[in-house]
A and B are shown apart, each in its own frame.
Chain A
Amino acid sequence: MNSVILKTTSKFLFVLMLIFSIWVLIRGHDAPGGGFVAGLITSSAFSLYVIAHGVERLRKVVVLELSALLCTGLICVTVSSITAWLKTLPFLTACWVPLGSFFLGTPLLFDLGIYLVVIGSLLIIVIALEEGGG
């Protein structure tokens, strides 16, 4: 779409939305948010960017291959599920590591995995549509 206003504003909005999505991802543990929502926000950001600037620019911005995003997400999810096996616990048991008063654990990795999968999937769909299939 050849709109100057859209092009300019989308650049700023894009960055803002990405920062926002990461914030939502991290705060999801204790307040409304989480992996799904953050992924959707990122996808909206990318859709806005793609409508304004076109697919080639978007591919340059998203340096990684889309399938790499999808697969990294699935790997995160799988790794977080099977770490329980190291402690001979059943599949998908959550394992926590205390850091002071803060806990790091496999559900966080799981959430990150969800985030990446959602971004990857929606980007694949949007880019396929934008490139004009059929």
Chain B
Amino acid sequence: MLVAICSGFVLSCIIPWLVKPSKNRLWSWILAILPLILFVYFLHFLPQVMQGEKIFYRFPWFEAVGVSLSFCLDGLSWLFALLITGIGTLIVIYSGAYFGAHPEIDRFYSYLFIFMASMLGLVLSNNLIVLFVFWELTSLSSFLLIGFEHQKKGARTAAFQALFITVAGGLALLAGFILIWVYTDTFELDVLLAQQDILRQNTHYLAILSLMLIGAFTKSAQFPFHIWLPKAMEAPTPVSAYLHSATMVKAGIYLLARMHPLLAETTVYFVILSSVGGFTMLLGAIQAIRQTDMKALLAYTTIMALGSLVFLLGSNEENSIKAAVVFLLSHAMYKAALFMAVGDIQKRTQTRSLRKLHGLRKAMPVTFGIVLITAASMSGLPPLLGYYVKELVYEANLAAPIASQILVGTVMLSNMMLAMLGMLLIIKPFFGKEPAVTVKEADPQMWFGGILLAVMTIILSFIPLLLYQVLIEPALSIIMPTHVHEKAHEVSFWPALTPSFALSVITFFGAIILYLSRNWVRQGSTALNALFSRYGPDYLYYRIMEGIAIIACWQTRWIQCGLLRVYLGITFLTVATVLLTASFFYPGGLPYITLPRVDWISAFLSLSVLACAFSTLMVRTYFSGLVFLGLLGMTNALIFLINAAPDVAMTQVLVETLIVIIVALNFYKQPPIPDLEKDTINSSLIRAFIAVSSGVAVTILLLNVVQNPLDLSVNDYYLQNSLPLGKGGNVVNAILVNFRSLDTLGEILVVGIAALGVYGLLKRKSGRGEKQS
């Protein structure tokens, strides 16, 4: 299973070498083979999943903190995995035709595969931290995908907003997971799910719940975090079809479904999810009505759909959960198909506006067929899947213990609006008079995916038993383990005379009325929207961003003034303060100063060092100061040599030489620097103070170190093991490249980065030089 997930990542790394833009179409078919293989691979687990088995895969990783790479394939993740890989295949094929010979298409496929692999990892993961890692990876890859057309400012802003909101939610999610670990001592989902009431009965249930809900709501675009989704329509259509209808936004829903046995069935859960979901549902519907761009309309209906999913998952009724699972499936299928169809229309008519499109029925018959079927599914017309969902929802809400009238009313209203929108999509672009310019049918490669999804919808609608047993039942028993197995349940999508049927009829007629009076409704929606844009979450987001920028500017202006001596001064002062305060609080008390007995050469060298230091203070030009500093360093090296540290001495000599050379080169090649005489008394005093305090602080530190008993156990270990384990006689080298090679790895990376930074700084052709006083 690990191979299945990682294959996406591996493929995305090698794509840039393989794919050339000119052969885009061919490559899209070849690349689609991978998701197809994965789809078939997951499909072959069908018999096991139907029995209710769970297939695990574990790989130990960071056992010390409870993080292991564990994956679990059960009904719920299986359903999602099929959706991800199945729709992924279709999207890859679609992108081949949509983009033509786009020069950056190789990057697009890379990002797409990274996303697909991350999403797979998310739904298959059994460990909360691994789930979080994949969660963040999906946020990152969707950022890359939304901002694919990075030349456009709109795309960049949208991508950043999406990233910011989902990552902020991700942080809350991580906090929630860590809280879970603190109270249950495990990150493994199967362990948690085996003890179902463990979280509900915890005193911190509310905190955990709210953190996880924030994470899920940001990802699944619930109010007030929904603002990133409509903007994300800046992404190319294949991205919207995949991410923002079928997969990424469903990640939050997946989380809610997965944690349902642990967190649900309390009143507060029901209230929060129903209200947030219901409000999002209505909000999405109202906003959708006033859209004329078809893609924006689909975006808002996605928000609606996500709202209803959250709404459904909040309840304890089995029918609601059943409806949620079916709706998940049907929504993924119809939304992806609709987005693809919109892309078809856009490609052929260069516009997505409902106002401008009309009469495409004869010109684009295949697209018309796709939209007819999928939009009908969206509206909930029998006998398609959507109708089944609506029926279940009505039944569930009629039987709800609290406030069933409000719930039913909310659902009915939103269903009416959704049906109206479906009709809008079917009727407006396709009926009416013929278009002025001849329009051709879309490329077969583009409607291939749409037709497949539409056909799937029809098949699943007409063979409900297949649907139920294969896809819904396994997922349902994961979400609600107390659910009673109904194997021989008569599932029918045809209307039967029940109260919910009456509600459906009312909804249908309500939708027709709304459609006929759509101009009125549009005006109302625009008015509401005006209110929102002035005081709503979008406005809040922009104010927050501005506020952050203002604070950052102020702080930077204050601290980073561009003068090197100020930076150095602040650094040394801080170090000195920290060391001095630490040494005052140190239990050993202040050290005492004794004059040690030294041999004459050490005394001589120490005096030379002091002499060099004084000379540095006394000189009148920077260059002489540099020479004396170099001399000071060399004398230090001699001191090291005397104290049996030849490696350090060699390094010191060379480093000193190179420093003198580099600084001297800098002096000669950079613009001239002011002379030392220009210093005022004040600045000299400040610098003297900083220097003296740093010196005193370091002296006290060193005296403390020397006067405390020395623990030589680490030294002894290295001395003894250098030859047998490190196979070398040079202990210092063995430590550097063998025992502590991880540190050295980090250090040389820093050296490399510093060199590149220096190069970049020096090669800038602007006239600014650094003041180096």
Contact = CB atoms under 8 A, between A and B. Distances in A.
A77 interface: yes
B665 A31 contact: no
Interface string B661-695: 11001100111000000000000000000000000
Given A34-B736, A111-B733, 19 more contacts: A34-B647, A34-B730, A40-B658, A43-B654, A44-B657, A44-B658, A44-B661, A47-B661, A103-B727, A107-B734, A110-B744, A114-B744, A117-B748, A121-B755, A125-B759, A130-B669, A133-B763, A134-B764, A134-B766
Interface string A25-46: 0001111111111001101100
A32 B727 contact: no
Contact of B730 (A30, A36, A41, A77): A30
B730 A70 contact: no
Nearest to A104: B727
B758 A34 contact: no
A37 B666 contact: no
B751 interface: yes
A131 B670 CA distance: 11
Nearest to B740: A92
Contacts of A29: 727-730, 733
A105 B727 contact: yes
A81 B756 CA distance: 23
Shortest 5 CB-CB distances between A and B: which pairs? A133-B762, A121-B755, A40-B654, A30-B729, A32-B646
Given A126-B662, A133-B763, A120 B669 contact: no
Interface string B733-773: 11011100110110011011011101101111011110000
B726 interface: yes
B733 A28 contact: yes
A77 B654 contact: no
A129 B666 contact: yes
Interface residues of A, number: 47
A117 B752 contact: yes
A113 to B, nearest CB: 7
Contacts, number: 142
Contacts of B736: 34-36
B666 to A, nearest CB: 6
A100 interface: no
8 contacts: A24-B650, A33-B650, A35-B737, A36-B736, A51-B665, A73-B748, A121-B752, A129-B669
Interface residues of B, number: 47
A94 B730 CA distance: 16
Interface string B166-194: 00000000000000000000000000000
A128 B764 CA distance: 11
Nearest to A28: B733
Given A113-B748, A130-B665, A134-B769, A36 B759 contact: no
A20 B749 CA distance: 25
A111 B751 CA distance: 15
Contacts of A103: 727
B732 interface: yes
Contact of B651 (A36, A73, A134): A36
A128 B763 contact: yes
B763 A37 contact: no
A122 interface: yes
B456 interface: no
A133 B651 contact: no
A126 B745 contact: no
Contact of B748 (A24, A31, A77, A133): A77
Interface in A62-109: 70, 73-74, 77, 81, 92, 94, 96, 103, 105, 107
Interface SS majority for chain A: helix
B40 interface: no
Contacts of B762: 128-129, 131, 133-134
B88 to A, nearest CB: 30
A126 B751 contact: no
A126 B749 CA distance: 18
Interface string B414-456: 0000000000000000000000000000000000000000000
Interface of A: 24, 28-37, 40-41, 43-44, 47, 51, 70, 73-74, 77, 81, 92, 94, 96, 103, 105, 107, 110-111, 113-114, 117-118, 120-122, 124-126, 128-134
A114 B748 contact: yes
A43 B733 CA distance: 20
B755 A110 contact: no
B643 to A, nearest CB: 14
Contacts of B726: 94, 107
A83 to B, nearest CB: 12
A44 to B, nearest CB: 6
B655 interface: yes
Given A128-B759, A133-B764, A120 B737 contact: no
Contacts of B670: 133-134
A32 B657 contact: no
A81 B658 contact: no
B758 A47 contact: no
Nearest to A67: B756
Interface string B713-728: 0000000000000111
Nearest to B770: A134
B754 A121 contact: yes
Contacts of B769: 134
B74 to A, nearest CB: 29
A110 B662 contact: no
Contact of A96 (B647, B727, B744, B758): B727
A125 B654 contact: no
Contacts of A51: 661, 665
A134 B762 CA distance: 5
B378 to A, nearest CB: 50
B737 A107 contact: yes
A25 B683 CA distance: 46
A17 to B, nearest CB: 11
A131 B761 CA distance: 13
B738 A43 contact: no
B745 A40 contact: no
A40 B655 contact: yes
A114 B197 CA distance: 55
Given A32-B646, A107-B738, A70 B728 contact: no
B647 A37 contact: yes
A62 to B, nearest CB: 15
A32 B738 contact: no
B318 to A, nearest CB: 47
B671 A37 contact: no
A128 B761 CA distance: 9
Contact of A124 (B666, B671, B744, B756): B756
Contacts of A117: 748, 751-752
A125 B738 contact: no
A12 B437 CA distance: 80
Contact of A44 (B654, B730, B742, B759): B654
Contacts of A134: 669-671, 762, 764, 766-769
Contacts of A131: 762
A31 B730 contact: yes
